[in-house]
Chain A
Amino acid sequence: MHTEQFIILLVEDDPAHAEIVRRNFEKLRTANRMISVPDGQAALDYLYRRADYSDPVNSPRPGIVLLDLRLPKVDGLQVLKMIKEDPSLLQIPVVILTTSASESDITKAYEYRANSYLVKPVDFSQFSSLLDAFGGYWLTLNKYPQT
């Protein structure tokens, strides 16, 4: 489906959780590349190709954003809002991946037009199968707009 590398932008402040996501996507053997940024500011810098991410060769436009909510510098919900308010970015699906199952976070996320909301399970096998399901759907079945 993807002729060139499909870019997943992971916005995750916990390096262990970023590692979990990376290991799971590695198994998928789809032609994807995960780029991980540690905070909301870095995510926006990446998307707008600012600061450390100003070189478009090293910062290709992501096909999907996997976004944690509680992030340093700029909050995840704020990042989501900014993506969905920008006509040049709003086509990129944003999937929330967070530990928070709070009703207010879920409502807010959809209000800001998140494309999906996933809660990180505490259990190992559940987390693995969640990421497998994510890969099977978003990285295999889902059709993306041409950019």
Chain B
Amino acid sequence: MLPLVATQALEVIPAMTNRIRVLIAKPGLDGHDRGAKVIARALRDAGMEVIYTGLRQTPEMIAEAALQEDADLVGLSILSGAHMTLVPRVLQQMRQQGLAEIPLVVGGIIPPDDAVALKALGVAEVFGPGTPTTEVIAFVQRAAGARP
């Protein structure tokens, strides 16, 4: 049988590092995780510490993981079209956990109008298909680095 591990840091890092910690999460029921995994790997290769939650995370689980993992930034990947329901809830849960200052980034299939709406709600950036990982890395470094 498969080992029952839901959340697992991608590598073991000694405590007290200054490396940026990023939580990558798949909210909702969407199973398309190629993008989430490629981004996780690229951020890790860029020297960050990346925690990938795996599939089917509720907004509550994501905010809780962000808190527990002391994330500097949270990235959501959604390709199922449920972003206008799920993303505002993740924002709300993060605020309730006192994580309002943690930038939230969304990637996936997000129509342009929805991207504008999500940013108005407080999403730091929306990345569509074809975005170079270098662009994502640069953004994360800026956004997470600017954190107090």
Report if A and B associate in a common complex. Answer: no
Interface positions of B (Cβ within 8 A of A): none
Interface positions of A (Cβ within 8 A of B): none
